[in-house]
Amino acid sequence: MEKDLEKIRAHAKEAIRNAADLGFLEQIRVEYMGRKSALTAILRGLKDLPINARKRIGQEANHLAEEIERLLSERKRELGSVIRESILAKERLDVTMPGSRIERGHQHPVTKVLAEIEGIFGSMGFETVDGPEVETDFYNFEALNMPPGHPARDMWDTFWLKNKLLLRTHTSPVQVRYMEKHNPPIRIIVPGRVYRYEATDASHEIQFEQLEGLVVDTHISVANFKAVMQEFFSRFYGNHIEIQLRPSYFPFVEPGFEIFISCVICKGKGCSVCKQTGWLEIGGAGMVHPNVFKAVGYNPKQARGFAFGLGFSRMIMMKYKIPDVRLFNSGDLRFLKQF
């Protein structure tokens, strides 16, 4: 029986020393001190022993029980502090550690290029103006010399809203809005979003940017217009750009032109971007139509001016060789991060 106690002591000591966590330790307690343990069995059996043996074994068994209890609580304390330390180590805060770098955003390419354009036109005395994207039929068409039923309205595939409202198909309505409130001389640019009800592809978007311009005074000519374009495009693309005006039709101007610039990629020699022509179409323009001046209350015999509408998205695409207009509003960071 003493040997049994010795064995229990040795096993219990070993097990307690090796217990790696509090769960194990509890199992060990049950195993060695619980109701079904060998030690409990010995203590229960004491009453059947002769009196001498009962006293001796009883004492020893009680000592062993106390010893195991003590070892258990020591180990428990030890494990507790180990756990606490590991939590502390994990949660340690090094206040001297450099912070993780927060990524900085930046301007959208359209915003960036717009600032550049405003700078160039600003230095030529142009003011930047804007207007609403939800427009009325009057400003988008009627005041621009397109009364209801005018066939030229079909030049713009329109998103119609309720109550004869629409999403502006061009920035030209802002010409009218501005002239209604201001008298000549006028020199403005109007950058802004426009909308077309069209199928999208690499060069067509339902929403894109235009850059409108308007100059009104008494002696304005096509030559002035060409000079402004020449100066603007040469500065915008950073090298000499030729301007070509080809006769065209827009109801709000007479005469009307399509504006071509010498290809910014091949400089006029012919390449795939300009389809071997050496020229790129970049917008429309013309001398403001007398009916537009009438619509805003000007005397068409006195006022004279030119207006233009440039494909702003297209200009950026050519400047940075962007192959697809849909990238601008895609939200794709791989694209945006390049600017």
Residues that bind ligand DAH (CB under 6 A): 170, 172, 212, 250, 253, 284-286, 307-309
- The smaller minimum CB distance to ligand DAH, of residues 245 and 265, is found at 245
CA-to-CA distance for 281 and 245, rounded, in angstroms?
10
Catalytic-labelled residue, pool 29, 196, 289, 314: 196
Catalytic-labelled residue, pool 65, 307, 314, 325: 307
- The smaller minimum CB distance to ligand DAH, of residues 109 and 309, is found at 309
- Look at residue 93 and give its three-state secondary structure: coil
C-beta of residue 170 within 8 angstroms of C-beta of residue 309: yes
Task: Return the H-helix or E-strand segment holding 225.
Answer: helix 222-237
- Beta strand 186-195 pairing with 127-128: parallel
Catalytic-labelled residue, pool 170, 177, 289, 304: 170
Catalytic-labelled residue, pool 156, 176, 194, 325: 156
Whether 156 is catalytic: yes
Of 284, 282, 220, the residue nearest 249 (C-alpha): 284
- The smaller minimum CB distance to ligand DAH, of residues 72 and 176, is found at 176
Q: How many CB atoms lie within 10 A of CB 289?
A: 20
- The smaller minimum CB distance to ligand DAH, of residues 37 and 175, is found at 175
**Max Cα distance, the chain (Å):** 138
Smallest gap from Cβ 330 to ligand DAH, in A, equals: 23
User: Token pair for residue 40?
Assistant: 């409990």
Sequence-ordered list of residues with C-beta below 8 angstroms from that of 213, at least 6 positions apart, any chain: 121, 126, 188, 189, 190, 228, 306, 307, 308, 309, 310
Whether 160 is catalytic: no
Cα dist from 110 to 25, 65, 157, 338, whole Å: 67, 82, 24, 13
- The smaller minimum CB distance to ligand DAH, of residues 190 and 318, is found at 190
Q: What are phi and psi of 201, to 5 degrees?
A: -155, -165
Sequence-ordered list of residues with C-beta below 8 angstroms from that of 19, at least 6 positions apart, any chain: 25, 28, 75, 79
Of 173, 158, 191, the residue nearest 251 (C-alpha): 173
Beta strands in 131-252 (DSSP E): 134-136, 165-167, 186-195, 207-217, 243-248
Catalytic-labelled residue, pool 15, 65, 194, 253: 253
Q: How many CB atoms lie within 10 A of CB 267?
A: 16
Whether 170 is catalytic: yes
Smallest gap from Cβ 172 to ligand DAH, in A, equals: 4
Whether 210 is catalytic: yes
- The smaller minimum CB distance to ligand DAH, of residues 28 and 211, is found at 211
Of 4, 10, 1, the residue nearest 71 (C-alpha): 10
Whether 235 is catalytic: no
- The smaller minimum CB distance to ligand DAH, of residues 37 and 145, is found at 145
Whether 101 is catalytic: no
Residues designated as active site: 156, 170, 196, 210, 253, 307
